[in-house]
Amino acid sequence: MADMTRLWYLIGLLLVVSGLVHLGVFVVDGGPWDGPVSWRKPFTFGVSFGLSVLSLTWVSQFVRLRGRDVLLGVFAVASVVEVALITVQAWRGVPSHFNMSTDVDSLIARTLAAGGFALIAVAVFMTLSAFRRDPTVPTSRSPEPTPARPPSMRLAVQAGFGTFLAAMAFGGIMIARGVVEVITGSQQLAYTVAGSLKPAHAILMHGVLLLPALAWLLSRTQPSEQTRLRVVRLAIWIYITVSAIVSGLALFGITIVSPSTASVLCAGAISGLAIGALTLGTLLPRTQRHRPPDAAARPHGLTGSQAHP
């Protein structure tokens, strides 16, 4: 299992590197930022999919997940296929999505659509798993069993997967709306209609990392679980409120900057906050929780009666 986890992390990192390389290509080669043919696409898709693979690999440790390696494997492979095909089309100088110009382009477009729905299926399953009831374990403090996850982390993970599923839903709507326009003969309109929802998709995409990262940071710096829970609840409401505003603007076609630029700004802000929380939690010394004087002498996981027969 550890070997597979390292593999998923490696795949995620390689996808991020691929995206950053194509940002460099964009800087050197130039070309349009917006539109269906742009170096922006392999950059944004590479970084976003890479972060998603890394996020799900890390967050899945806080979920009672059956077939974890299989699900992460499907998600990682689908992500690689998506990024690879988008990158190939960018180098060919043709649109990747909704492009039915040739047999090859049609096959790639259909594969991208199928891969998108595979990602949605994995997101649905993992979200349902995040809401499964935790098992209980005994502790050294009390003979009464307690949940395996602190309530703050459980809530953060559930909210994170909920927003991630919402992002996948917006992605599915984008694909469906684009396909409908292509079928009715308006390929150019497909890019406009689908692209208008990019900011909603982007701002919800990385909450699955941000909220658990915040809960993890609090677990290392705040000894009171009640305080951690209050902070996580506040963060969830703020995140949902901002996401609702951005999504509402996207749905009504109200733009301040282009949808492509807005999506990069939204995804960058959310993932940047998440990475900052993880970095800060790693660098700061962990807060020592108060334990009974004899707690250190008790074997982990044993109740008082078990530790002193």
Separation between Cα atoms, residue 216 and residue 133, nearest integer Å: 20
Helix (H) or strand (E) holding 150: none
142 within a domain of the structure (yes/no): no
In angstroms, the CA 138 to CA 106 distance is 57
- The string of pLDDT tens digits covering residues 226-252 is 999 999 999 999 999 999 999 999 988
Tokens of 149: 């996850």
Model confidence at 188, in pLDDT bands (50, 70, 90)? Answer: confident
Confirm whether 293 is domain-assigned: no
- Please provide the average confidence, as pLDDT, over all residues in the chain: 86
pLDDT score of 137: 52
83 or 309: which leads in pLDDT: 83
* Angle subtended by helix axes 207-221 and 40-59, to nearest 10: 40
- Helix ranges, the chain (H): 2-29, 40-59, 68-92, 103-130, 151-183, 187-195, 198-205, 207-221, 225-251, 259-283, 304-307
Q: Which domain holds residue 276?
A: 2-134+148-285
Whether residue 78 is contained in a domain is answered as yes
Domain count, the chain: 1
- Asked if residue 308 belongs to a domain, the reply is no
Let me know if residue 263 belongs to a domain.
yes
Cβ contact 244:166 at 8 Å: no
The whole model's pTM is what? 0.85
C-alpha dist (Å) from residue 31 to 28, 67, 89, 93, 195? 9, 43, 15, 11, 19
Count how many Cα atoms sit within 13 Å of the Cα of residue 64 in the half-sphere of its side chain: 12
Does 46 reside within a domain?
Answer: yes
pLDDT at site 269: 96
Residue among 132, 166, 275 nearest 212 (CA) = 275
